[in-house]
Structure 1
């Protein structure tokens, strides 16, 4: 009983916080909010000083109670509202994830141990395309890898280019042509990703076919640093798993060879 009552009482406060986070107040409204905040604080402090001068304990107790309640609430409201979670702000956070966080984590987790380089090929809106390659002078990858990330607020699509030697026939679920990828696919599904039942037309420079994974993110994903860090680090492990799978990929026999 206590657990259910606690969860029900926490729900409205959570909804209020999300509502405050979504506010994008104009300059004049934020000015009024500051004036109200200052009036409450100055009024409370003035009442405390006046009570101290006249030595009125009841007035001082009332003033301290006012400040004790008003100060933290006012600071929380102002912090949430002035944080400005408008559409432009959320778009900027999305771009920062695609332009900075993802390349950083993929480079450290998937590329560094193999001495590979991550190159951001293109970003248009909420979609970014990347390529992994060996530095000049080193032997190239057995199978070049390009992948793209489409981050749509609380949904993400991740596409990985497939080597030309892999030609799955029919549904991709437990397809023998993807036997080298079974481990990484299982790991991705454990993290909430779903594998599209058919190959996708890859939108990168190679114009080839790709595995398409998609998943739903938390509603407030863009506003929570811990969620963003977990997602980008997990994506780094995801890319590393795809690289390992491609290293194990063997050419499929042609019809003549069969």
Structure 2
């Protein structure tokens, strides 16, 4: 039996590839645990500078596995809560991962698959990709992934798609903010992902890792004085850090920084 997740390494780039193509990379407890563990491992690996989330076969991830859903429907409320918390841990681990993340999206991205896309820092899809938050058709809601989806597409769009369970295309996903770019086909998708990887590898590793925490803090701040103080602390710390000193020195000396590949 093949492993549900492939962990591929290309230099400083880690590719975490969902590997249940016959089931369109649907989620179950094993997939959730494997992906969470892999993310925790790459998050603490100093040699990893970029993480790509992708899917094997015809789809990125078509949401929940039917057999898993059948089992959870028969389980107790306590067991369902524990199961939901495991998914919540996965989404938070990806969202807060101290590495830049890229979602390489093709085919179907439904339910939890949309959650993965929303949690990544950069999301690119082929023009024929399809998206859906289809839980309301089952009398459910995308509750666990909702913080990340709402942050990506905003409250007004979320109210529509959460309630209707309507499928939408890549153009719509781009318009509402779930995707950053849409490309024609998988060859163009690989090229677009590689372009982002190349850009990220030219950024300072610490700066790239700090970027998402900076954005999160700025977005949530209501105290402007604290906001100014925290940002001044951050830039002062970065300027005197080894990475900041190397980056400034390289710029002034008109040379590449040591981390550039």
TM-score interval for Structure 1 and Structure 2 normalised by the shorter chain: under 0.3
TM-score computed with the length of structure 2 as normaliser: 0.24
TM-score computed with the length of structure 1 as normaliser: 0.24
